[in-house]
Amino acid sequence: MKKVITYGTFDLLHVGHINILKRAKELGDYLIVALSTDEFNAVKHKSAYHSYEDRKMILEAIKYVDEVIPETTWEQKVQDVLEHKVDVFVIGNDWEGEFDFLKEYCEVVYLPRTDGISTTKIKNDLNKKTL
């Protein structure tokens, strides 16, 4: 079984998230999503609208996702890859090159982001509508 892992906050789920999850799953047979906890989001200077528990439930409902684990630190990726026997690490190319250190442990794939959508854009557009 070829195992794939990806990481992220996945707040206010949108087609950009679905596209990366779909393409990540196509690279193997089993997709693990390491989901940023609310505390780790603070470390990333992000605040998610949905709680970790809600974002986890939403991701678990997606047919491409086989398992959701918490992402609590920047440093856990090597341990995750080893512990979960991951074959492929996938993330959007906004992170291009940032995780090349994982090439010692697994394949590293940066996939093109989906243009025109982001959680930030959703928040901004909604704010404009309510002004």
Chain contacts with ligand C2G (rule: CB under 6 A) = 7-10, 16-17, 19-20, 36, 44, 71, 91-92, 94, 113-114, 117-118
SS3 2: coil
Closest C-alpha to 62, from 25, 94, 29, 92: 25
Active-site residue, selected from the candidate residues 2, 22, 25, 46: 46
Torsions phi, psi of 116, nearest 5? 80, 5
Which CB, 4 or 131, lies closer to ligand C2G? 4
44 is catalytic: yes
> What single letter denotes the amino acid at residue 5?
I
The CB-of-130 to ligand C2G minimum distance in angstroms stands at: 23
Q: How far is CA 9 from CA 12, 29, 59, 104, 106, in A?
A: 9, 22, 10, 25, 22
Instruction: For the CB of residue 24, give the shortest distance to ligand C2G in the complex, in Å.
Output: 8
User: Active site includes 121?
Assistant: no
In the bound state with ligand C2G, the residue whose beta carbon lies nearer, of 3 and 17, is 17
Active site residues per annotation = 44, 46
